[in-house]
Amino acid sequence: MVTVFDVARLAGVSSATVSRALSGKPEVSPSTRARVLSAVEAIGYKPNFNAQALRLGRSRTVGLVVGDIRQGGYAALTSSLQESLAAIGCSMLMFDMQHQEERLSSFLDRTRSLGLAAIVIAMPHVMSAATRNKIRTLSETGLPTILQGQTLAGDRMFSVRVDDREMAAKAVGYLARAGRTPIGYLGRVSDSAIGQDRFQGYVAGIKANGLAFDPALVWDTGSGYRYAVGRQELARALDAGLRFRGVLAASDELALGAMSIALDRRKAVPEEMAFVGFGANPWAEYVRPSLTTVTTHPDEVGKVVAEIVGRSLDGKEGRRHYVLPGSLVVRESA
């Protein structure tokens, strides 16, 4: 097994200098650091991050809180973040809140006792003032706290999100230009900050394309973003005789559920009724008709979050808030 002593011998420095160089300590000269890194690459040395953490008295375990791991978007984010954190020598603990804010509140109460290096909160919910204050308190006491999907005010807070509002407006514009009007919106979940952003983008897109806003074509899904809810809500709309030719759904799961009842009712997709989802789940490419979707780039989100974590652990300053571009992936459903 290659050790730090092997690197030191090859680079012609002490093992302590190797440790300082790999930890980014400023007292190591650029030429010495370059020599150490060259030796590391030449012999394939892999630093023992766990040992470093014990020696420095600092954990390298990151807590990830997700709203519901059964939703494809959160599963993709979890996988991406775990891989990106491993690349910087961090491990991850995942906590599934199952859309229950009290579970998040309880987790926040014991975060310090878990000895985490940072926490990432990926929940769509409109949080209570008490929960928001707990999150701010953690960040203000020095624990790197990163929100994924929404932003809270706070000098020490981090956030990473896709511009859901802009992307929803663009999806409406795409449907309008394709002649798939009127356009309904499926997924205005009242307690979801992300759902509300996407709904506001839908409204903006309707107005920007000179269409009339019809509240009858906005369907709340209070029980979340699941397939069954999408199917149920669109069935109600069809049974009520509502006229529409396009549907923007707040998640791929909602879109697929809605599309299933449209197909069962012998609606031609996309000729009579077109569907656009949110999330770019991998299966969206393989259902038939394949699903048009707004991608929220979970791989890129995972990399950015890991970059923030790594920088925070090294005591370095950097950007606090990131808004990543989304994109519309056009397939057969629209």
Q: Which of 88-102, 204-218, 294-308, 316-330 has the highest mean pLDDT?
A: 204-218
Q: Considering the domain 59-161+298-324, what is its CATH architecture?
A: 3-Layer(aba) Sandwich (3.40)
pLDDT digits (tens, 9 = 90+) for 126-161: 888 898 889 888 888 888 999 988 877 666 789 998
State the DSSP code for 100. -
The CA distance from 296 to 266, in Å, is 31
Coil vs helix vs strand at 148: strand
pLDDT digits (tens, 9 = 90+) for 65-88: 998 888 778 888 899 899 999 888
CATH superfamily of 4-47: lambda repressor-like DNA-binding domains (1.10.260.40)
* CATH dotted code for 164-295: 3.40.50.2300
Domain ranges of the chain: 4-47, 59-161+298-324, 164-295
Question: Which parts of the chain fold into alpha helices (H)?
Answer: 4-11, 15-22, 30-43, 49-56, 72-86, 101-109, 129-140, 164-177, 193-208, 227-239, 252-264, 298-313
HEC sequence for 80-95: HHHHHHHCCCCEEEEE
Per-residue DSSP letters for 63-79?
Answer: EEEES-TTSHHHHHHHH
pLDDT digits (tens, 9 = 90+) for 124-133: 778 888 988 8
The model's pTM: 0.76
- What is the structure's pLDDT at 56? 44
- What is the structure's pLDDT at 157? 85
pLDDT digits (tens, 9 = 90+) for 176-218: 999 999 999 999 877 788 888 999 999 999 999 999 999 999 9
Question: Is residue 112 classed exposed, middle or buried when 0-12, 13-18 and 19+ CB atoms within 10 A define those classes?
Answer: exposed
The reply to whether domains 4-47 and 164-295 share a CATH topology is no
247 within 8 A of 278, measured Cβ to Cβ: no
Question: Which residues, at least 6 apart from 183, have a Cβ–Cβ distance to it below 8 Å?
Answer: 172, 175, 176, 202, 206, 211, 217, 244, 245, 246, 247, 248
Place of tokens 């770019």: 280
